[in-house]
Amino acid sequence: MSLIEANTRPALTVLSEDEIAFRDAVAEFAKGEVAPRVQQMERDAKIDPGLIKAYFEMGLMGIQMPERHGGAGGSMMMVTLAVEEISKIDAAAAIMVDVQNTLVANPLVAAGTEEQLARWMPRLVSDTIGAYALSEASSGSDAFALQTRATKAEGGWKLTGRKLWITNGAEAGLFIVFATVDPAKGYKGITAFVVERSAKGFAVGKKEDKLGIRASSTTELILEDVFVPDADVLGPVGQGYKIAIAALNEGRIGIGAQMIGIAEGALSAAIAYLKERQQFGKPLTEFQGIQFQLAQAATELEAAKLMVYNAARLKDAGEDITQAGAMAKLLSSQVCGRTTSLAVELFGGYGYTKDYPVEKFYRDAKIGTIYEGTSNMQLSTIAKAMLK
């Protein structure tokens, strides 16, 4: 047992036997299916299609989706465990699972009609990747300053605009797109639409060349008079902002899981290296200065992990997770940044090379303070909740 496994053991007391079995199964899957593909996916900046197929076969793309539509009917805690375990190996591979289960499944289940679920869920469970399209050039932290317009047409709506920073954009077949039906109404004009990739006038644009999570696609979406039938409007017209916020609140727990997974992977790699690396005639782990740094990192990681787990539990209990999710994402991304930076330093010069995994963990960590709400936006959310 590595030091990080020992130090995170108390957190496992909050898991049921079924959750532990699920976590261990995902861990084995990650070692067998994700790990052998990491380096090639990083070089190609693309998720291996064979891994996507394996995800579906393993049931990881429908963890929270209803059993009646082929999903596992699982919990947010299970999603958290899955994303954490995969992120220990590759955060880019994990975010595909995260987005499918939080930003796509959650709004569909929460706001979709039974007829809509019957059409979309079996596909999302079996072979179709989903994506969540909110961000635009002018709407980042100001998420609802949307320029994408939805104009009423006979039998439906026509969408025109551009979306940016869309995770899973290159692979997705189904997109939850947010557009405004009336800019004068502000956020109350925002409406959610489900758009097929095959829709006329819809195109996936530029794929971003990123610092980290390189295998995960981040793309532009282009919509030019894309017709969406009334049957594909998700939730009431003008209520899309509620759907978007609820999805992001849950998505932040998923990002928290990704961050603690990255940190665990980096710390485990560092400890294994330090046990082998000798200086002044003894392993680096025998130096108190090294031990203290590891102990501090493991303690911070344990705190972040328990905060993420707590937010997942609150979500499963039907509690308001606005503050808990923001806190979990904020702390876990901060801890992940510190832990991965330390791991690079503990490797010395080797940590700065691509021959060892910690430089990738370090690059992958940075996105945690940016997407699904920057750290400043999390602080704002937390403060508002405190002062309400």
Q: What CATH number should be reported for the domain holding residue 363?
A: 1.20.140.10
Whether residues 279 and 237 fall in one domain: no
Low-confidence ranges of the chain (pLDDT < 70): 1-13
Percent of the chain residues past pLDDT 70, beyond the cut = 97
Q: State the pLDDT at residue 67.
A: 95
Whether residues 231 and 257 fall in one domain: no
The answer to whether 276 is a known catalytic residue is no
Q: State the pLDDT at residue 164.
A: 97
Half-sphere exposure of 161 (CA within 13 A, CB side): 23
Contacts with 266 (C-beta within 8 Å, 6 or more apart), sequence order? 339, 340, 343, 357, 358, 361, 362, 365
Whether residues 117 and 134 fall in one domain: no
d(CA 48, CA 24): 23
Whether residues 267 and 380 fall in one domain: yes
pTM over 0.85: yes
Catalytic one among 84, 136, 171, 372?
372
Structural domain boundaries, residue 296 = 242-387
Q: State the pLDDT at residue 316.
A: 95
Beta carbons of 85 and 30 less than 8 angstroms apart = yes
269-307: burial string, b at 16+ Cβ within 10 Å, e else: bbbebbeebeeeeeebbeeeebeebbeebbebbbebbbb
d(CA 350, CA 90): 19
Q: State the pLDDT at residue 11.
A: 44
Domain-ending residue, one of 225, 241, 257: 241
Domain CATH code at residue 177: 2.40.110.10
* Total domain count, the chain: 3
Assign residue 320 a region: left if phi > 0, alpha if psi is -120 to 50, beta otherwise? beta
Residue 49: how many CB atoms within 10 A of its CB?
9
d(CA 351, CA 364): 14
Whether residues 9 and 116 fall in one domain: yes
Q: State the pLDDT at residue 141.
A: 85
Q: State the pLDDT at residue 60.
A: 98
pLDDT digits (tens, 9 = 90+) for 60-84: 999 999 999 999 999 999 999 999 9
Whether residues 298 and 366 fall in one domain: yes
